[in-house]
Structure 1
Amino acid sequence: MKNTLVVVLLSLFSLTGSSQITTDTLLVGYTTAPPFVVQEGELLEGINIWLWEKTARDLNLNYKLVPMRFRDMLDALKNNEIDVSINPLTITSERNKSFEFTNSYYAAHSTIAISEATTLEKFIGFLKKFFNQDFLKGLFALLMIIFLFGLAGWYFERKENPEHFRSGKSGIWDGMWWSAVTLTTVGYGDKAPKTKMGKISALVLMFGGLLFISGLTASIASSLTVNQLSSNPEGFMAFKDRKVGTIANSGAMEYLNKHFFKDVEAYSGVIAGLQDLKEGKITAFIYDEPILKHRIQEDPDLSSLQILPVKFDVQFYAFGIASKHSELEKQISQHILTITETQEWEVVLNEFGLTDI
């Protein structure tokens, strides 16, 4: 009889404990992160808001939304001061030591936002790339060939061909002119050698010049391509030695630190970072692609910014749950998994212009 009474009491206690999960008022922290959490005045909307409201409604969860700064929200979740964070939190090993994560509901890449260069800046950049050391070396060699063969042509022709190669300084200029038009295969025909040595010089200049011009053109083209690739902002590692920005305590910040980025400015919000990017205080802002795209598309003041076609570091988003709510985490995780497998979830993503990877 006593054993039966103990079993009944334990069962009642267990039921009371499990029902407490659904009857207590949960403190749910959030901070704006469009398109996942969008706040316009007192109105809250976005993908995460929809997902949380449906989950809470289906599981009969009582909750109170608490607006917080991102860093404060993470600290509060870590210290069990709030119960849930419904922001798109990237699942990382470091965060997982401090609080629980639900099943992931969305995956996205990090990307890079830069300030689009003006037409004048693009032109100046092209000139800097074109007039590089290799180009100047080639130009100097070209001028030396023109000078030497022009001088040789004048020397061999000055006596027997004075009508084409005059004497003195004027004749030297005639030699330079003949050498230049011969080397470049223009061949005006206004000046031509008559002597044997003059014709031999012309042959060497024509065939040797043809090879030299071809090599010089290929060298300049190759140099421009290499310079373009090495300074191409579409490459992630091209920004390693530049000043970049990202969100403090974010997955992107952790990723940049792991890849030894030297000059990273940490921001509390995306807008502040993009504004500094627009003003030229940083060269790039690195963060989650859907959030950056939404901010730039929705804010006319940021229209001069662009997203580079580069993706890296897959981010898996989930809700954060305080470590004291392990049973709650299991319930929410299972329900999120159920929701994200429905057609309704695809419709919600499409409404905000998103597709899962």
Structure 2
Amino acid sequence: MTFLRRLLLPLLLLPLPALSQTVSVGVIDAPPFAIRDRTGVHTGLAVDLFRLVAERAEIDFEMTAVADDPVAALADHDIVLPVEADRALEAAADLTHPVYTATLGYASKVGSGPLAVVRGLMTLEFLRIIASVAVLLLVVGAVVWLIERRRNTEMFREDARRGLGDGFWWAGVTLTTIGYGDKAPVTVAGRAVAMLWMLTGLAVSASLTAAVVTLAGGGGGSPDLPEALSDRSVVVIEGSAAQAFLDGRGVVSETAPDAETALRLVETGGVDVAVGAAPILQWQRDRAGHDLRVRTTKWDPVLVTMAVAEGDALRERLDRALLDVLTSEAGQELVRRYLPDEEG
């Protein structure tokens, strides 16, 4: 009996496992992933997903608002959320599976009126479109001219300079379906090429119309970064993944402390574009009622995750529960609630 008492006494004196205690969760304010209302209650996509995870993993927790530095917050808390995964943070802490994968987006003013249309068309993207269409018209016009120049000299003159101009003009009016009728092929081969061009021109014309409407509508060109920002002033959130992405590609930008400040700069004309994680920009725009357009790109996935101390066994427990929650109907419903379909 004395032997058993000596064996069990040290075990009884050991501290209880950390997972049986209340876990301290530090929450960084980052709407729509973490939102704190006036009463101090935390909500948001990452916060509500964590609540489901904690319920599934049988973890008791308490939440506390913390500053934006997740490494510093881990000194006083077991878990910090939401954080953007990057190499530096991974070196200082362990990160769970992402709760959401976002991509970069950019916010700009919604154009309206003739001046906005002109500005939308005065872009490198519009010049590329015009140049591509001109080359296509020249090729098609040259083919028709080569076929028609001997038997249809009245409409397609034999002189190369004038004849190529005739072919170019015919290809253009045929593409746009205007069809003045001043020029038309008369040979069998020329009419076959004309029929093929008319059918192909339907697709070309539709694509051209869509591209021009997008540019004239104030979209300002392709949503691909960083080309879309080459001739614009840019603001990013300080310390964000967007700042690292643009700095690495030579785009000069100024910084703002948060998304709301960045969007306000765009709306007041201080800068042309605000760049950041697309869901954050969209949420802030809708919340504040900014008259801005947020375009989602396919660039630089932003992994929104949770951080724990290095080597903490809590991470594996969180990961297992998180995978179950993210694939459940409740988890998918949370994503749809906070992040409806993003604009393209």
The TM-score by the shorter chain falls in which range? Answer: 0.5 to 0.7
Output the CA distance in 2 between the equivalents of 1:310 and 1:32: 24
The structure 2 residue matched to 1:256, chosen from 246, 264, 282, is: 246
Partner of 2:76: 81
Output the CA distance in 1 between the equivalents of 2:162 and 2:44: 67
Partner of 1:157: none
Identity of aligned residues (%): 15
Using the TM superposition, give the Cα deviation of residue 255 of structure 1 relative to its aligned residue in structure 2, in angstroms. Answer: 2.1
Using the TM superposition, give the Cα deviation of residue 44 of structure 1 relative to its aligned residue in structure 2, in angstroms. Answer: 3.0
- Does residue 106 (structure 1) correspond to residue 114 (structure 2)? The answer is no
Residue 313 of structure 1 aligns to a residue in which SS? coil
Partner of 1:22: 20
1:262–1:237 CA distance, 2 compared to 1 (3 A) = closer
Output the CA distance in 1 between the equivalents of 2:161 and 2:270: 51
Larger deviation, residues 235-244 vs 97-106: 235-244
Q: Unaligned 5+ residue runs, structure 1? A: 136-202
1:109-258 correspondence runs (5 A): 109-125=103-119, 211-212=164-165, 215=168, 232-241=221-230, 242-258=232-248
Partner of 2:287: 298
- 1:48 touches 1:86 (CA, 8 Å); kept in 2? yes
Output the CA distance in 2 between the equivalents of 1:213 and 1:44: 70
Partner of 2:301: 314
Residue 97 of structure 1 aligns to a residue in which SS? helix
1:45-64 correspondence runs (5 A): 45-57=43-55, 58-64=57-63
- Does residue 278 (structure 1) correspond to residue 278 (structure 2)? The answer is no
Using the TM superposition, give the Cα deviation of residue 272 of structure 1 relative to its aligned residue in structure 2, in angstroms. Answer: 0.4
The structure 1 residue matched to 2:328, chosen from 316, 319, 342, is: 342
* Greater helix share, structure number: 1
Partner of 1:352: 338
Segments of 4+ in structure 1 off by > 4 A? Answer: 1-14, 126-130, 206-211, 213-219, 225-229
Using the TM superposition, give the Cα deviation of residue 307 of structure 1 relative to its aligned residue in structure 2, in angstroms. Answer: 1.8
Using the TM superposition, give the Cα deviation of residue 120 of structure 1 relative to its aligned residue in structure 2, in angstroms. Answer: 3.4
Q: Which amino acid aligns with 1:319?
A: M
What's the RMSD between the two structures over aligned residues?
4.1
- Does residue 38 (structure 1) correspond to residue 38 (structure 2)? The answer is no
The alignment of Structure 1 onto Structure 2 pairs a total of residues equal to: 273
Partner of 1:154: none
1:330–1:348 CA distance, 2 compared to 1 (3 A) = same
1:215–1:355 CA distance, 2 compared to 1 (3 A) = closer
Point out the structure with max Rg over C-alpha: 1
- 1:243 touches 1:264 (CA, 8 Å); kept in 2? yes
TM-score (norm 2): 0.64
Using the TM superposition, give the Cα deviation of residue 216 of structure 1 relative to its aligned residue in structure 2, in angstroms. Answer: 8.1
- Does residue 329 (structure 1) correspond to residue 315 (structure 2)? The answer is yes
- Does residue 288 (structure 1) correspond to residue 286 (structure 2)? The answer is no
TM-score (norm 1): 0.62
Output the CA distance in 1 between the equivalents of 2:47 and 2:241: 21
Partner of 2:257: 268
Output the CA distance in 1 between the equivalents of 2:293 and 2:12: 60
Larger deviation, residues 275-284 vs 5-14: 5-14
Partner deviation per Cα, 1:15-60 (whole Å, 9 max, x = no partner): x341x3432552x322332222223322432222212233344523
Q: Which amino acid aligns with 1:65?
A: T
